[in-house]
Amino acid sequence: MYIHPINLWEDEPQIIAFIRHNAFGTLVAQVDQRPHGTHLPFVLDKNSEGKTVLTGHVARANPQWKSIPDQSEVLVMFQGPHAYISSSWYNHENVPTWNYLAVHVYGKIRIIEGEELLIHLKKLVDTYEEGRPNRVSVEGMSDTYLQGQIRALVGFEILISEVQASAKLSQNRDETNFQNIVSQLEKSEAENDRDVATHMKKIQKGKNDS
């Protein structure tokens, strides 16, 4: 991913929180010599050796998993809020642009089965059921039903080797224009726009605190 130096995002705790908050990502790998993407929920976790991993699963009918050799490198993309930035918000002539947050994760993939797959499914369900009324759990499913579902899935674990993170949030603007952009985004009815404004203010606060 191309990242302009001014937009390079290196705050590890923030990136971890971002992945967990935007955990519906895209697994990218080659299928029949063409890029292939699958949109999936992921769990950011530690493996038995204490190393950081992403776990997920695909439908057994999905051809992607059959085309990925064990221990080959894959890419997972996570995207957060994004917003159009109108040049009418500046006090000088300029072009429109787009603000966004995105994280690319690279790592080596391996297939998980049996108990490992079951542990992944339990963590996945528990993660997304957290705080919901009438929570469900894998443990509450009948064994016959659960085993039937598991047979239709292929699980995987990605050992993370590299993380690329970009927070393009108008860091190149002066204080007046930066505040104008934040103000316009906060007025928007679009939740994405308001979320971008929130992240912009965090960036600004970080600068002021440093």
Domains and CATH numbers, the chain: 5-172 (2.30.110.10)
Question: Two tokens at 99?
Answer: 């603000």
pLDDT of residue 122: 95
Q: d(Cα 197, Cα 182) in Å, to the nearest integer?
A: 5
pLDDT above 90 for 69: no
Kindly report the number of other CB atoms within 10 A of residue 133's CB atom: 5
Three-state secondary-structure class, residue 46: strand
Contacts of 61 (CB under 8 A, 6+ apart): 152
Q: At 63, phi and psi to the nearest 5?
A: -70, -15
Average pLDDT over residues 139-167: 95
What's the rounded mean pLDDT across residues 120-142? 94
Q: Which of 161, 149, 153, 60 is nearest to 109 (CA)?
A: 161
For residues 43-70, give the mean pLDDT.
93
Listed residue (127, 167, 130) closest to 44, CA to CA: 127
Name the amino acid, one letter, at 50.
G
Is the model's pLDDT at 101 over the cut of 80?
yes
Residue-level pLDDT at 4: 96
Provide the whole-model pTM.
0.92
| 3-state SS track over 100-158 | EEEEEEEEEEEEECHHHHHHHHHHHHHHHHCCCCCCCCHHHCCHHHHHHHHCCEEEEEE
